[in-house]
Structure 1
């Protein structure tokens, strides 16, 4: 089963940047989710979907995946570009 390694995104509901330096390794779903006949909740027999490992760096996550024979794909985040402008520029 394949895993993906990515950097945790910033929470859209808050302006803080806590935990954005963590790298996450999680597994792709092996089975499609299906509704439970009694409750109607979506679920599957694949328990690897629930596993989410946190690492300090991308290299540590890749080393873990290599050590355990997990094929992993790294998703990098493009650098942010800030457009610096003054408040007075709104009235030009």
Structure 2
């Protein structure tokens, strides 16, 4: 069983970054057997380890936990967003790089 350690990105549906501070360790399994329930049509799975999601304060804590428990893991790099610093008054600046048009 392999785990992946990553820092989640901001949800596209919100402007806040509340759940992006912690590092997450979750199990990944490629060959899982899924079956459809004939009566209700729900999909079930034979291994529930994919539902385990553990949060850590730092990347080092997550790696240390995985090593201590003997879990194979991979660390996915974080993608920090670029912050574009803009001000409304720059639209009316006399030294504007692009001419202001109506």
Same fold (TM over 0.5): yes
For structure 1, the 5+ residue unaligned runs are none
Using the alignment, how far apart are the partners of 1:77 and 1:22 within structure 2?
Answer: 12
Matching residue of 2:25: 25
Q: Which structure has the higher relative contact order (CA within 8 Å, separation 6+)?
A: 1
Name the residue aligned to 1:10. 10
Q: What is the TM-score normalised by the length of structure 2?
A: 0.77
Q: Could you give the per-residue CA deviations for residues 41-69 of structure 1, whole angstroms, max 9, x where no partner exists?
A: 11211010111001001110000000000
**Partner Cα distance (1:10, 1:20) in 2:** 6
Are the counterparts in 1 of residues 33 and 46 from structure 2 also a CA contact under 8 Å? no
Q: Name the Cα RMSD after superposition.
A: 2.1
Alignment of 1:72-83 (within 5 A): 72-83=73-84
Give the C-alpha shift of residue 86 in structure 1.
5.2
What is the CA distance between 1:32 and its match in structure 2?
A: 3.5
Unaligned runs of 5+ in 2: 92-97
Q: Which residue of 2 aligns with 1:70?
A: 71
Given the two structures, how large is their TM-score scaled by the length of structure 1?
0.84
- Who wins on radius of gyration, i.e. which is larger? 2
